[in-house]
Structure 1
Amino acid sequence: MEESFNLKESLEGITTKLISWLDSIILNLPNFLLAVIVFILFYFIAKYTGKLANKLLKRSVKQASIRQITVKVIKAIVILIGFFIALGILDLNKVLTSVLAGAGVLGLAIGFAVQGTLNNTFSGILLSFLPEIQIGDWIESNSYAGAVYEINLRNIVIKQSDNNYVVIPNSKILEEPFKNFSHTSRSRVMLECGVGYSSNLEEVKKMTIETIGAHFKQKENEEVEFMFTEFGGSSINFVVRFWTDVQKNRDILIAKDIAIIEIKKTFDKNGINIPFPIRTIDFSNTLKTEKE
């Protein structure tokens, strides 16, 4: 009997609590709707503020990555302002105070849990302001090569020559070496080749330098360099180095393509042989058979 009475009291208590909550929801429904409208309004304000900030920054900031990160920070600040105003409309001052008070403790806990993510975030901020790497630059890093498509707070996105995108964590870019082809307008191209042992080496050197110089104009303090490097197994090998306009890896491939075609034409015209590897088989030890 006593257990039945306690159960009845518990059900009445739960019912009373639910009714009080329902009354609170009905009473606060206008404030809740107003808070939602304010938050949505601030979301659109953040969107258009970001566009306006981007237009203004284009006039004074040339680096696209700096503009992107600045716009994202501005939008985040505007949305946070709208969030706190919405909490104020809901008369959740105590909740707001608790959120701000617990942010420090929660921040420490989350910080230990997501150290890698925070590392990438700070690395993304540094990369955004780093002049050595910008949107559109052609880079090589972490065994990948491509044009920088995006720099955000988590990773850097590059578009490879095969039209595929590669996502690399920001910390990997800062911790590993990277090569930027777009940072300089000129680059030295190195091409290796070989000629037959019967060739006149002085003539080979002269005609190679003249051929490269005719197709790749060398500017001030630039020159075509030619050096024989070794006595190979079937050829005397050399390397020719020359300067050309390079903004990405494809420009180097194009320069090598032109250089190989023109050197081959010149060598064919002057009877210079470019030998391929030769293997000689010796049959001097013949096998003899005797018939009894």
Structure 2
Amino acid sequence: MNLDINQAVDLLTSKLTLWAKEFIRLLPNIVLAAVILVLGLYLAKLIRKLALKLIRKVSHIETINTLFGSVIYAIAIGVVFFVVLSVLNLDKAVTSILAGAGILGLALAFAFQDIAANFMSGIFLSFRRPLAVGDIVQSNDHMGIVEEVNLRDTMIRTFQGQRVIIPNKDVFQNTIENFTVLGKRRLDLSVGVSYGDNLQKVKEIALAAAAKVSVRARDEEITLFYNEFGDSSINFSIRIWMQDTAQPTFLQGRHEAIMHIKEAFDANDIMIPFPIRTLDFGIKGGEKLSDLGLFGKE
């Protein structure tokens, strides 16, 4: 029994002695690793501040700016961590960590590919800036005012009051119509007139009537173009620029244009054709209206 205890004590002593020798041997590396760790953490914070300052000159979306700074900080911390492990001669641990991180990253990429696509699209949208909060846009058959642009989706408030959330991938990959960029908006109004009217006279009267629109842009010319010979009318488009892009201004401009043109056409005996249907009750298999007794007997 005493022999077993002595052997255990000797074994423990030898192990502790070996560890002490290894610790003393590695002490310079441990001190160097600690210094690198402290300096690395300080440099990582400094790099994050510098990255945020640079990214804010390009992007005005604070969420993306913060995320970019965090990613840069995480990369810097990772570099410091691997350098510390290398100084401590833990190269195999570094290799294992890198291999595990690669496999984990690949698995996450497959599992969250839609989220990743929306995320990357949000980043590209923040740099390209095809739209901004407050813009009137049309995207994916939805038209309204942009309320929010974040990393995953874009929120639009339609003119009917509904809130539409569109994934950034769909916004980025599809056509975006931005009505706010120019600072003014054009109204294209389609009108038809009778084949019996003088087209030159129609043009002059329509342009004069459209000029009465109170919310039109005074620096833009009103234009009129005949488009086609319709079934019952000659159709034309009159183009009027509004003084701003707001939806109430656009609706008011269209309202006034229709009223002024209709009033001017009535005053000058210009006819806007409308569909006419003739009902024939006397055809084979039908009855005449006089035989239906609808009008009474004389």
TM-score when normalising by structure 1:
0.63
TM-superposed CA distance for 1:270, in Å, is 2.2
**Equivalent-residue separation in structure 2 for 1:202 and 1:282 (angstroms):** 38
- Look up the match of 2:165: 167
- Look up the match of 1:85: none
- Where do 1:75-154 residues align within 5 Å? 102-154=100-152
Unaligned runs of 5+ in 1: 1-49, 83-93
**Equivalent-residue separation in structure 2 for 1:253 and 1:129 (angstroms):** 33
Q: Aligned-pair RMSD on alpha carbons? A: 3.9
Q: In the superposition, relative to structure 1, how do residues 271 and 242 fare at CA in structure 2: closer, same or farther (>3 Å)? A: same
- Look up the match of 2:64: 69
Q: How many residues align?
A: 227
**Equivalent-residue separation in structure 2 for 1:259 and 1:75 (angstroms):** 54
**Equivalent-residue separation in structure 2 for 1:62 and 1:81 (angstroms):** 22
TM-superposed CA distance for 1:149, in Å, is 1.7
- Where do 1:229-268 residues align within 5 Å? 229-268=227-266
From the CA coordinates, give the structure whose radius of gyration is larger.
2
TM-superposed CA distance for 1:200, in Å, is 2.9
Q: In the superposition, relative to structure 1, how do residues 138 and 61 fare at CA in structure 2: closer, same or farther (>3 Å)? A: farther
Unaligned runs of 5+ in 2: 1-48, 78-89, 288-298
State the identity as a percent. 37
**Equivalent-residue separation in structure 2 for 1:123 and 1:245 (angstroms):** 33
C-alpha contact (below 8 Å) 2:115/2:152 kept by paired residues: yes
What code does the residue aligned with 1:68 have? T
- Look up the match of 1:16: none
What code does the residue aligned with 2:236 have? F
Q: In the superposition, relative to structure 1, how do residues 210 and 131 fare at CA in structure 2: closer, same or farther (>3 Å)? A: same
Alpha-carbon displacement from aligned partner over 1:66-94 (angstroms, at most 9, x marks no partner): x3311344467789999xxxxxxxxxxx9
C-alpha contact (below 8 Å) 1:234/1:278 kept by paired residues: no
**Equivalent-residue separation in structure 2 for 1:103 and 1:153 (angstroms):** 24
What code does the residue aligned with 2:167 have? P
SS in 2 for 1:159: strand
**Equivalent-residue separation in structure 1 for 2:60 and 2:162 (angstroms):** 22
C-alpha contact (below 8 Å) 1:186/1:245 kept by paired residues: yes
**Equivalent-residue separation in structure 1 for 2:259 and 2:58 (angstroms):** 40
**Equivalent-residue separation in structure 1 for 2:135 and 2:57 (angstroms):** 17
Q: In the superposition, relative to structure 1, how do residues 285 and 109 fare at CA in structure 2: closer, same or farther (>3 Å)? A: closer
**Equivalent-residue separation in structure 2 for 1:217 and 1:124 (angstroms):** 35
C-alpha contact (below 8 Å) 2:157/2:163 kept by paired residues: yes
TM-superposed CA distance for 1:273, in Å, is 2.3
SS in 2 for 1:214: coil
